[in-house]
Chain A
Amino acid sequence: MKRQWLKLIIISIAIFFLMYQDGVFAEEIKPEAATERITAQLDKPSLKGGGTIMITGKAPEGKPVYVEVWSERKVRAARLDSEIDKETGKRPYIFYLTDEMPGFYNLLVPSVFSDALDEQRKLGRKWSVSALLRNTGATAAFEAPAKAKIDRYQTTLWASVVGSRGELLSPMTEFENKRRAMPLVKAKFRDLDVVFKATVEINPDGSFKAPIELPSNAPPGKYYVVAKIDKDIKSETLMFENFISFPQVYLGNAGRTINMFVPFLLTAAITTFGVIMGAGGGFILNPILVMMGLPHTVVAGTVMPTVLFSQGTGIYNYARIKFISFKVGITLGLAMVAGGFIGPKLTELITLAQYKFLFGIVLIILAALMFWQTTPKYLEKNKKEQAILKEFLRRAQEAKQKKMEGGK
């Protein structure tokens, strides 16, 4: 009997010991919440005139990975909000402006969201940054443009027509600033595929990779890259550099790099042709520079001083043959001063599409006028004009003759 008791006690002690070892009597220690983190690295430190850099890394299993890439170089972005507000039914006429938009910006999303990008592509020009961010779960990853300080101005229909920015409004909240940065990204980069790419490949174990593609017209300098899961879980900020060399030239106000050889040769050809027609060549140069991808605002501004050269030589030569009426010229010049103030601001307020439309209309009207002026009916009615032309040619011939005689 005693033995039985002894066995029972030994077994009980053994069981107790095993249970103790197993931690049954220990205070329940909650496992520390697994620290979710994401690591990432780049395969090279720099690029020359654009190219591709690969980002690879490791994230927790089953989580989405977004890669945000932006340049250190900043550029201006502006937008006039004149769409009817659904809540108020009124057009707000608020002008949003920032000088802190990254010159280059990419948000790479997991490749499983390629459908979401396709959906937005189908909308054409009506694609929306906010809808794309929402449908890919990338709203929290959209940070670099959201940090740009955006000024907003209350303008009016009339003020916007004459190009006034209007009254500067109070600063926006962080939330509103982020919300307004979304359409500004669209206004600056225009094409969905320039900004968003569904190229992050994520494996079941959480490892991921994505190519970061920098076009040849991307700004030079430092680029920052962060891989993110959400607003809290992100990798350290990675950095690489993009180098450019002549004939590549960075245009700070356009936020892009261009090869200067191409526009140089084009301008030489265009100006020769333009001067033959008695114009500065700006009307031809303008759409070509826009087609090269430069912002219409910068093109409009840049072409103005280039025309100065052909205008300057033209004024000099017309003055020599006394064909300039200073009374008319100065009166019209004063009107041009007013237009010179209004025009640049108006350019800032309109979209590229509106700009192209207006430009096209003006060119069509001019072309029609010029064509009309070449018809026999017009020429018959305008004999006086022909006489003036003849007189101009005669005086030009005389001036040339005198010059040649003087040279002797």
Chain B
Amino acid sequence: MKKLTVLLVVLFFIACLPFASLATELKFGLLPRLAEKEMIDGFTPLAKYLEKELGVKVTLVVPKDFDTWTKEAKAGAYDIAYTNPYLYVVVKKDVKDAEVIAIASEPEIGTKLYGTIIVKKDSPIKTIADLKGKTVAATDPGSAGAYLVQMLMLQKAGLKKDDVKVIFEKRRDQVAEAVLAGKAVAGFVRDDDVEKLKVGPDHFRRLGKSDPIPNWPIFIAKKMDPAMASKIKTAILKLKPGDLQSIKILAPARTDGFVPASDKDFAGMVEAAKAAGAY
């Protein structure tokens, strides 16, 4: 009986080991969409807010690039993480304990992103199907709103991945310039970015608009003590979009609040990634 008790106690502690609650620090992995200093400055108010709400130290981690972030997230280097919707589904595929908490809301676009395909205003291309055999420009193979959702649009229009030649131009303005210069007949950009193009939106016509995909998610990135996970969720979801408190904490991070989310919200993202052969 005594041996059984000792065994149970040992098993209990072993079971508790992976939980982050044993640690006094939470690592918050941020996808480096801006320079490191800007990311740290932007997210420090949120880290401080979480420290106050959770009673543990929250350390911001900004890796050098997207690949490093993905590797570290998959390796369980972060307790909580903030990333684009595509990399969330990529990490989720490998890290089953990853659990989305919320989706960020941005002042201009809210909680959803849309992709679009632009062509020159006088282009003979009238439908997405007309892009078969043509060259199109996109920003980056990992871009959710400026490559992946458009590949799903192509698939829905009956085209296969190899039916178009994709060139990657890094930035939305370069994509637009490639279309204007005839280097590509169409460009993949985020729908809300069309108005922001330096050359102006008047040179282009939209071939279509994608189904919505969720904005950037914040998620628990590895197995965690349920009590701590619950506290994190509560703290994050207190930051409702547009509230004064949310803006005070999140405005420097170019966000104005969070809305609850589940993996169902990312079904479209998974579908888009599959269409692009990137899942």
Contacts and interface: CB of A to CB of B under 8 A. Distances in A.
A137 B247 contact: yes
Given A87-B171, A176-B198, A64 B252 contact: no
A371 interface: no
A64 B200 CA distance: 32
B260 interface: no
Interface residues of B, number: 20
Contact of A139 (B107, B173, B198, B201): B107
Contact of B251 (A63, A135, A172): A135
B242 A134 contact: no
Interface size bracket, A side: 20 to 34
A229 B242 contact: yes
B243 A174 contact: no
Contacts of B251: 116, 134-137
B9 interface: no
Nearest to B247: A137
Contacts of A229: 242
A62 B107 contact: no
Given A62-B244, A176-B196, A176-B198, A135 B107 contact: no
B201 A64 contact: no
B88 to A, nearest CB: 24
A136 to B, nearest CB: 6
B256 interface: yes
A170 B200 contact: yes
A112 B201 contact: no
Interface in A45-98: 62-64, 87
A175 interface: yes
Contacts of B196: 173, 175-176
A229 B173 CA distance: 32
A185 interface: no
A136 B247 CA distance: 7
B197 interface: yes
Nearest to B35: A86
Interface of A: 62-64, 87, 110, 112-113, 116, 134-137, 139-140, 170-176, 202, 229-230
18 contacts: A62-B244, A64-B243, A64-B247, A87-B171, A110-B244, A134-B251, A134-B254, A135-B252, A136-B251, A140-B107, A173-B195, A173-B196, A173-B200, A174-B195, A176-B198, A176-B200, A202-B244, A230-B107
Q: Which 5 pairs between the two chains have the least Cβ-Cβ distance?
A: A137-B247, A64-B244, A137-B251, A175-B195, A62-B243
